[in-house]
Amino acid sequence: MSPEQAAPRRWALSLSQRLSLVFVALLLLSSGLSAALQVQSSRRHEREVIQRVSYNLAGHIAGSAQLMDASGWRPQAIRSLFDSLMQVNPSVDVYLLDETGRIVDDASPEGRLKRRQIDMVPIRAFLRGGALPIVGDDPQHQTARKVFSVAPVKVNNRNAGFVYVVLRGASHDAADSQNNISDTLSQSLLTLGGVLLLALAMGLVAFRSITRPLRELTAAVRDFDAHGERAALLPRAGPGRQGDDIATLREAFVHMGERIAEQWRELTSQDQQRRQLISHISHDLRTPLTSIHGYLETLRLKGDRLDAAQRERYLDIALAQSQKMARLAEGLFELARLESGLVKPDPEVFGLPDLLQDVLQKCELTAESRQQTLAVSLERGLPMVRADVGMVERVLSNLLDNAIRHTPPGSRIEVRLHSSADRVWIDVADNGGGIDPKVRENLFTRSLTRPGPHTGAGSGSGGLGLIVVRSLLQINGGDIELLDGADDAPGTTFRCHLPVAPPSFRSSGLPYQTSGWPS
């Protein structure tokens, strides 16, 4: 691996780690916001308490100090007020305002005043009894606003000015600057920090515990092999975790692994079937090829010494073997087309009795030459079916041809048609020697053992006949099976079915009789 490829792996974080970092960041952000809100709330509460406790301070001063008479402000009374307040409560600053909010007198040191005009809006809100805390201008700062108390100064029942008291004045600010955070606030922040660390530790532990199934699933996915065997062995989630998303993902992954393992086994089985089929077909091709080659070579070497009957016999045998090879090649070609998915049925609605009669007429001469009996049993009112007529004809022809070829002369072959709610059933039965038990299990698959009776080998199909039949039926929505015969009733019965036509098509209702049919 090159350094360029290794670098991303070195710095890449797992999903668990990224989620943990997001959790820590969110916890720190929420804690910071909580601390800021707590500090702000604490300061607001402190202002409210100070203003509420000192709410009537300005009114008490205005009512008891006699700061103004009919001639105007009384400087001597004002000086006496300022001196006494500085001794009693040096944390407050008192200002005398005229009716417009302009400062007319104060006790501030020389040069400390930064503004001579006080905003009247907070003063009016305070006098109206607005919600506390209410902050107003601090004359000793350009922009600072602090809680205050204010009361009008009345002369002859007329407002002549205001007593404006800043409750946290310059002396309080100087003391507060030496200890910016109070002990209570400091203790609160310290407690919040401890809670934050505890919550962080507990959250990480809990988060690690919660994400453990995800890490286990990640490890299983990383170690997943082509067979899916490890995924199939991954323990399933318990019944108490059915609603858990990770448990649901785990179940889906286990199911996927099991499905992949099953599909892999099916592919392995199909590959084995393909190999067996090629082996069987190679054997079936070699036999007629050897026969044809032998007879043709005999005709070439001994043609002048053979009479006409012998030459005709040898040619008939070679011709029969070539026809066998042709049927085998045709079966292989048709099976390949069916399994490729390129063959699409052209369904139409028709009655099976009509089609069966046509097929039986084609097989009549072959059956008569072998002294075999063809019989038909039909259910009255048999519904029509919906399928590809050509494919169904091929199915019936193949089944009847197999039955004729693989039952001894003088045997009986019967075709029975009957119906159920949504299916029409076709039984092709004979009283011959039955199916070799060695091939019954895999009769309709490509995993055949050597062809035996009724596998289609006699027709030169190499065991492909019934495989083609099943493929044709499945394309049309049907299927085929081999019925188990009774011990006292030897023979073979193949049963297949096709879907009934939609309800809009009426039953054929024809009273078919076996009279006049091949029998």
For the chain, the 3-state helix, strand and coil shares in percent, each to the nearest 5, are: 55, 15, 30
Strands 373-378 and 412-419: parallel
Q: Are residues 43 and 186 in the same domain?
A: yes
**Contact status, residue 280 vs residue 303, Cβ threshold 8 Å:** no
Q: Are residues 328 and 383 in the same domain?
A: no
Bridge partner residues of 481 (DSSP) = 495
**Contact status, residue 237 vs residue 247, Cβ threshold 8 Å:** yes
Read off the tokens for 211.
Answer: 């994400």
User: If the chain, 519 residues long, is cut into consecutive pieces of 10 residues, what is the mean pLDDT of each piece?
Assistant: 48 67 79 77 82 80 67 68 68 82 80 84 88 87 86 78 78 54 64 79 76 73 60 57 68 79 80 72 75 82 80 84 79 72 84 91 89 90 90 91 88 92 91 77 59 42 72 90 71 90 60 41
Specify the DSSP element, H or E, that contains 339.
helix 308-340
Question: What's the half-sphere exposure (Cβ side, CA atoms, 13 Å) at 487?
Answer: 0
Q: Are residues 389 and 328 in the same domain?
A: no
Read off the tokens for 267.
Answer: 């592919």
Report the pLDDT value the prediction gives residue 83, as an integer from 0 to 100. Answer: 67
- Domain assignment present for 506: no
Report the pLDDT value the prediction gives residue 387, as an integer from 0 to 100. Answer: 92
| pTM for this entry | 0.47
Question: What's the N-to-C CA distance of the chain in angstroms?
Answer: 80
Bridge partner residues of 386 (DSSP) = 349
- Amino acid identity, position 146: K
Q: Are residues 34 and 130 in the same domain?
A: no
Could you list the beta-strand ranges (E) of 329-478.
Answer: 348-350, 373-378, 385-387, 412-419, 423-430
Q: Are residues 359 and 425 in the same domain?
A: yes
- Domain assignment present for 4: no
Cα separation, 448 vs 435, in Å, equals 13
Name, in order, each residue with C-beta under 8 angstroms of 199's C-beta and a sequence gap of 6 or more. Answer: 27
Cα separation, 235 vs 208, in Å, equals 20
**Contact status, residue 495 vs residue 474, Cβ threshold 8 Å:** no
Read off the tokens for 51.
Answer: 């203003």
Q: Are residues 134 and 200 in the same domain?
A: no
Q: Are residues 336 and 457 in the same domain?
A: no
Q: Are residues 332 and 474 in the same domain?
A: no
**Contact status, residue 248 vs residue 226, Cβ threshold 8 Å:** no
Report the pLDDT value the prediction gives residue 413, as an integer from 0 to 100. Answer: 92
Q: CATH no. for residue 135?
A: 3.30.450
Report the pLDDT value the prediction gives residue 428, as an integer from 0 to 100. Answer: 92
For the chain, the C-alpha Rg in angstroms (whole number) is 53
Read off the tokens for 13.
Answer: 């974080």
Total count of domains within the chain: 4
Reduced to 3 states (helix: H, G, I; strand: E, B; else coil), residue 380 is coil
Q: Which domain holds residue 91?
A: 54-178
Read off the tokens for 426.
Answer: 């076709």
Q: Are residues 473 and 406 in the same domain?
A: yes
Angle between helices 389-406 and 352-369 in degrees, nearest 10: 30
Q: Are residues 467 and 319 in the same domain?
A: no
Read off the tokens for 47.
Answer: 């202002």
The candidate with the shortest Cα–Cα distance to 334, out of 266, 395, 378, 293, is 395
Name, in order, each residue with C-beta under 8 angstroms of 228's C-beta and a sequence gap of 6 or more. Answer: 256, 257, 258, 259, 260, 261, 264
